[in-house]
Amino acid sequence: MSQPAPPPLTRLVPEHVRRFTAYVPSPPDEELKRLYRIDQLHRLNNNENPLGPPPAAVAALAGMAPAQHALYPSGDGFFLRRRLAELHGVEPAQVLIGNGANEVIAFVIKAFCQPGDAIVTADRTFAVYEWVAEFSGIEARLVPLRDHEFDDAAMLAAARADDRSKILFLCNPNNPTGTWWDGARLARFLDAVAGRQVVVVDEAYAEFVDDPAFPDAVALMRRHPNLVVFRTFSKMWGLAGLRIGYMIGAPEMTDIVRRTAVVYSVGGAAQIAALAAAGDQAHRAATNALMDEARRHVAAEMRGLGLPVLANAGNFLMVRLPMSDTIAHRRLLAQGVMVRAMTGFRYPNHLRLSLSHPAAMEAFCRAMHGLVKR
């Protein structure tokens, strides 16, 4: 006897999920090398640390007995939170870890927003705030950057348009422009918000800034319990593959966000490596010296080719191309150099390059020369 055809699965899917297109990650290196018939690939698309994790983290990982992987880790990063609290001058209860800062973004949105609410951020910034909002039925209000910077006045206006906006996301320094607000500007912004919304400051690239004018977010938190700060072990600390990030908030803030945090989402190896890596200033100095050298070299080379460069804070820079970034991306890949095509970030005809070792920077400059001068 034949069964009637089942009704389509899509009828179970909320409209905001149906509308959303899934992000397609880049293929693994081996696959790309096969596709593009290349022997070597410089992966300069994800802002990873070319020096890897600090030596103490490498040793901590090597020292793990395989049997440890049979055990669940600390569900809330007990020892790591204690260490991070000490480094930032807060209480352990103010720190919440996640499976990358990406997961912490989802925790905060889930804690404060329901379908019909809104978040406010920039149009050209890290896209995960916008994506998590949209596939959750939450409107993402995207305020245009002004001179490549987050526009305080326009963000406040977007937040005040009605009473639906719950969270303002500031990426500081901004990925991909590298621009940042100083402490005074962030303090003025928080005064103007006056606790009406949550303010998230994503400091994924904070460790790449040495300027004393960079905000002391923890100090601001004492006066502004609506402030949340994100950090990650993926960029400066070279642990992107282990997926670990964290947030710091006032005790009442962290109590709220913890309700939506999935326990055991951060593995034991990630916790052990992060504990060893946290606050390693020698590693930070070595990384920043390498970044400064690469930034100077690439910026000069690109300007020599007549290409405008946006090189501010962070371990990356942007180049404006005289052609489509999608085509440039493919041609650079064929030369063994993988960068980020920026149309998806609303920067058509731009690419973002992760700063790295001299050999990788040389390969990029050579490939760009071939691209522009033919």
Ligand X SMILES: *Cc1c(COP(=O)(O)O)cnc(C)c1O
Cα–Cα distances (Å) from 125 to 177, 246, 306, 345, in that order, read: 8, 19, 26, 7
With contact defined as beta carbons under 8 Å apart, do 59 and 269 qualify?
no
Q: Write down the least CB distance from residue 234 to ligand X, Å.
A: 3
- Given 49, 102, 335, 354, the residue binding ligand X (CB under 6 A): 102
In the 8-state DSSP scheme, what is residue 341?
Answer: E
Instruction: Using the rule CB under 6 A, give the single segment among 59-67, 137-145, 227-235, 326-334 that binds ligand X.
Output: 227-235
Count of other CB atoms within 10 angstroms of residue 58: 15
Q: Could you say which DSSP state residue 162 is in?
A: S
Whole-number Å distance between alpha carbons of 93 and 9:
42
User: Based on CB atoms, which residue is closest to ligand X, 76 or 202?
Assistant: 202
Which residue, 335 or 350, is less far from ligand X as judged by CB?
350
CA–CA dist 261, 246 (Å, integer) = 11
* Residue from the set 121, 177, 226, 234 that interacts with ligand X by CB under 6 A: 234
Q: How far is the CB of 143 from ligand X (least distance, A)?
A: 16
Tell me which stretch binds ligand X (CB under 6 A): 98-106, 135-143, 217-225, 345-353. 98-106
Please tell me whether residue 280 binds ligand X under the rule CB under 6 A: no
Task: Give the binding-site size for ligand X (rule: CB under 6 A).
Answer: 13
Tell me: does residue 356 bind ligand X (CB under 6 A): no
Q: Give the CB-nearest residue to ligand X.
A: 100
If the CB atoms of residues 350 and 365 are measured against ligand X, the closer one turns out to be 350
Beta-strand relationship, 340-341 and 350-354:
antiparallel
Residues in the chain: 374
When the beta carbons of 105 and 363 are compared against ligand X, the nearer one is: 105
Does residue number 100 form part of the binding site for ligand X (CB under 6 A)? Answer: yes
126 makes contact with ligand X (CB under 6 A) = yes
175 sits near ligand X (criterion: CB under 6 A) = yes
Q: How far apart are CA 152 and CA 182, in angstroms?
A: 12
Separation CA 318–CA 276 (nearest Å) = 32
Q: Which helix (H) or strand (E) holds 17?
A: helix 15-18
Q: Assess 202 for contact with ligand X (CB under 6 A).
A: yes
> Is the separation of the CB atoms in 342 and 318 below 8 Å?
yes
Q: Which of 44, 84, 101, 145 forms a contact with ligand X (CB under 6 A)?
A: 101
Residues near ligand X (CB under 6 A): 100-102, 126, 171, 175, 202, 204, 232, 234-235, 240, 245
